[in-house]
Amino acid sequence: DPVANLYTFTSCVALSDLHGDGDNKLVLGDLGTGLYNMKLKVYRGTGLVCENALIDLPTGVVAFLMDTSEPRTPALAVASGPYIYIYKNMRPYFKFTLPVLPVNALEEEVWHQAKEDKIDPLTLKEMLESLRDKSEVALSVKSLRYLLLDPNEMEGYVSLYKMQPIKRQTIITCMATLKKNMADEDAVCCLVIGTESGDMYILDPEAFTVQAKMALPSVPVYLDVTGQYDVEFRITVACRNGNIYILRRESRRPRYCVELGSQPVGLVRVNKNMVVGCAQDTLHCYTQKGKKLWTVFLPAAITTMAGMDHAAKGFQAVMVAMANSQVHVYRDKHLVNIILAQDVVTSLCFGRYGREDGTLIMTTKGGGLLIKILKRTAVFEEKDMSPGPPLAQSIRLNIPKKTKLYVDQTLRERESAVAMHRTFQTDLYRLRLMATRAYARVLEANLAPFSSSLSEPLKMNAVVQGIGPCFKLTLNLQNTSANQPSINLLIS
């Protein structure tokens, strides 16, 4: 469907059996035009079933089972801003707010004084500025906003907002699910969220309380989670500083760290390894402990990445969508398939859609929706992609041919070599003499357009433009010394 008007990313696409009838639906968090028209859309088959308006830009959409009650209808979690909106049966069900962050004590003190009208707006601004420069804990949104204001707007702002308590909120950047204590497909899941303040929270599925909190040195952007919460789990996080951190159970700080050469643009786990797409058009594969296994160079920039897991065939691969509107499917480091799309693909999702197991859903940059179904009889074979000798070897070198004329010439040279040499040397003497004479004459008459003397290094040339009785004469004058200005020159 090329006119579906869907603008979304891989993190905002989920496949789920929303009504528990064995018919999987596609849930998309549509970004709309970026500022308004954000919608949560549900597709069934080829048509749109329902859509809900969203208040803010969605950053992640996942479907998960909250409890063990029958029928097993999964809940839908949409992360946007500092909130997670939980939908059940496509009805708003719950709104989770991230815990607020601690506020700087000094900042609180300053605002307290302002509340009692003890300090005027200008000193408030100065104190907040000095706080910003030296303190470790960042200022709240309220103070930062205040610092941006013009002096004449400050009075009104202080009187308006001094009564409100200061709170510092953070924003969700990524979201994933983690099985609680069973590895089944329909097990209860915990939500794992990464925030702008560099923290990871693991939420309880029913009560929506924070079960664990972990700190990261940078802002997480891509998450991958394996294992079970109660037994052992591993969270792989790609961060905005170009590093990958691996978190495990019982560790508040990352255990391993992998440094990438550039920013990560996608993170996919295949079996026990993780595949990372970099902004330098490369695909790296690392083990769980952070050892590099292989690197593949791609022909264009990566737009998005997703995993492909076909359980019935036992086939796991990585799909990489690129800026040349191709989608490559890699198993280990072998390219097994290339899909050509009409437009640049921005989001990928592979899984069970409707009643068909191997369905690949893509949305394009122009807002189109593409659905492809993997054939039952399809086999992925690893073609030997290593090319033979490069093509350049088969091109003949461009060596000029020699004719009879050349051979006669060499014969003559062999017979009278001595005479030729002598004549040429005498001519060369004469040439040198004449060149020196002419040069001396030019120096005497000051005719050369540049001077290379140390005191006045100058370069000048004149250009005549135009035809007819009027001409335009441009003189380009340039001082060529390193650091010596020429002053008091006259053009006569």
Partner 1 sequence: MGLFDKLAGWLGLKKKEVHVLCLGLDNSGKTTIINRLKPSNAQVQDIVPTIGFSIENFKTSGLSFTVFDMSGQGRYRNLWEHYFKEGQAIIFVIDSSDKLRMVVAKEELDTLLNHPDIKHKRIPILFFANKMDIRDALSSVKVSQLLCLENIKDKAWYICASDAVKGEGLQEGVDWLQDQIKAMKT
Binding site for partner 1 (CB under 8 A): 45-47, 312, 353-357, 371, 373, 375-377
Cβ 348 to partner 1, closest distance in Å?
A: 18
Q: Of the two residues 131 and 371, which places its CB atom closer to partner 1 in the complex?
A: 371
Whether 54 contacts 6, CB under 8 Å: no
Q: Of the two residues 23 and 108, which places its CB atom closer to partner 1 in the complex?
A: 23
Residue bearing tokens 């159970």: 249
Cβ 355 to partner 1, closest distance in Å?
A: 6
Cβ 44 to partner 1, closest distance in Å?
A: 9
Q: Could you tell me how many helices (H) and strands (E) the chain has, helices first?
A: 6, 30
Q: Of the two residues 379 and 419, which places its CB atom closer to partner 1 in the complex?
A: 379
Single-letter residue type at 310: H
Whether 73 contacts 16, CB under 8 Å: no
Q: Which residues contact 351 (CB under 8 A, 6 or more apart)?
A: 15, 24, 309, 359
Tokens of 23: 């018919």
**Strand 326-331 versus strand 220-228 pairing type:** unpaired
Omega before 217 cis (within 30°)?
no
Whether 372 contacts 362, CB under 8 Å: yes
Cβ 369 to partner 1, closest distance in Å?
A: 11
Q: Which residues contact 450 (CB under 8 A, 6 or more apart)?
A: 458, 459, 460, 480
Cβ 377 to partner 1, closest distance in Å?
A: 7
Cβ 46 to partner 1, closest distance in Å?
A: 5
Q: Of the two residues 16 and 173, which places its CB atom closer to partner 1 in the complex?
A: 16
Q: Of the two residues 330 and 353, which places its CB atom closer to partner 1 in the complex?
A: 353
What is the C-alpha to C-alpha distance for residues 320 and 285, in angstroms, rounded to an integer? Answer: 13
Cβ 320 to partner 1, closest distance in Å?
A: 25
Q: Of the two residues 296 and 360, which places its CB atom closer to partner 1 in the complex?
A: 360
Single-letter residue type at 38: M
Q: Which residues contact 209 (CB under 8 A, 6 or more apart)?
A: 203
Q: Of the two residues 278 and 370, which places its CB atom closer to partner 1 in the complex?
A: 370
**Strand 282-286 versus strand 273-278 pairing type:** antiparallel
